[in-house]
Structure 1
Amino acid sequence: MVYLIVAILVVVADQAVKILVRSTMVQGDSVSVIGDFFRITYINNRGAALGMFASNNKMLLAVPVVIIISIMLFVFLHRYTHPMVKYALTLVAAGGFGNLIDRTLFGQVTDMFSFRIFPPIFNVADIAVTVGCILILIYALFGERMDHRAAGAGKGRPKHGR
């Protein structure tokens, strides 16, 4: 249940920020938040990450649906998966769903966060996907140690069925 709440919060935050940007800015507008270091810049992205596959909208709709369903089935059906992995996958699925809403309704994704040191402009959903992927990488690198610590603190197999 907690994973569903996290997913809903991510999607609501993503859509709320996008609605705010679309309703208060004109595409191409840019507002300084921290000098030139961080700006809110309203753009619409017809492609996937970094604008890739902009000409294949059917693929950009179908692939995320399959991925999101697969991830959520895994999260809810695999009782002994480490909670960190479940949270990570939930973030990836929720971020994917947030951008899928835009693609379905508008044929493009609203992006707004712009950092001078990082050229692509991105949104809350992109942040969720990125954080989820980083957590998966951390677990892939250090998960075995994390599981051994959990097993040492308790009795037997770590209880990841939360």
Structure 2
Amino acid sequence: MKPRWIGFLAALVALVLDQANKIWLIDVYGIAQHQPVRLTPFLDVIFAKNPGISYSLFSAKTAAGRFVLIASAMAVTAFLVLWLWRSRTVLTALGLGLIIGGALGNNACDRFFYGYVADFYHFHIGDFSWYVFNLADVAITFGVILLLYESLFGKDGEPSRKTGRDKAAMPE
């Protein structure tokens, strides 16, 4: 199987899991009426609406603002899909697929259906509070980690030597 198909499958799985989790928490469980749900002393499930991008920056509460954020997300996603189509390794394809699926879940589906990004998971320790996130954020984070890992260590776990100049400078 070509790496690109693994990436497209990862995107689909990330998107479906994220959206299914949101539908279940919002519409079936009714998290807004049951929050906070304490899972552990440091992890709660709550309902947070994010009308902007990370940390509610560039809040888009109008239809025009939502359109701009959705259009921007689609443009970035198109670039990532082109990159995925050309990917030659499974790690790159998997990383890109996770990022694409997460981006489509947060930035396209959520904004289109809800008008905001729905976040649920809140880590905290004492007075320290980590931001509230969702499964799409988890997919994006792991996708970026996979891309960084491969760019630093290559597909065989060795430090990457991708340029001819680096190859010439380093003895075999």
1:46 equivalent among 23, 42, 51: 51
Shift of 1:31: 0.4
Over residues 54-86 of structure 1, what are the superposed CA-to-partner deviations in whole Å (9 max), with x where a residue is unaligned?
13433311111011112112212x15x222111
Relative to the length of structure 2, the TM-score reads 0.76
* Residue in 1 that maps onto 2:15: 11
Mapped to 2, the partners of 1:120 and 1:42 lie a distance apart of 12
Percent same amino acid at aligned positions?
Answer: 28
Change (3 A) 1:147 1:59: farther
The one-letter code matched in structure 1 to 2:82 is L
The one-letter code matched in structure 1 to 2:138 is I
The one-letter code matched in structure 2 to 1:16 is A
Contact 1:111–1:123 (Cα < 8 Å) also in 2: yes
Deviating 4+ runs (over 3 angstroms): 144-149
2:35 equivalent among 29, 36, 56: 29
Extract unaligned runs of 5+ from structure 1: 150-162
Relative to the length of structure 1, the TM-score reads 0.81
- The size of the alignment, in residue pairs, is 146
Mapped to 2, the partners of 1:85 and 1:4 lie a distance apart of 12
* Residue in 2 that maps onto 1:113: 121
Contact 2:152–2:159 (Cα < 8 Å) also in 1: no
Matched, 1:96 2:107: no
Matched, 1:135 2:151: no
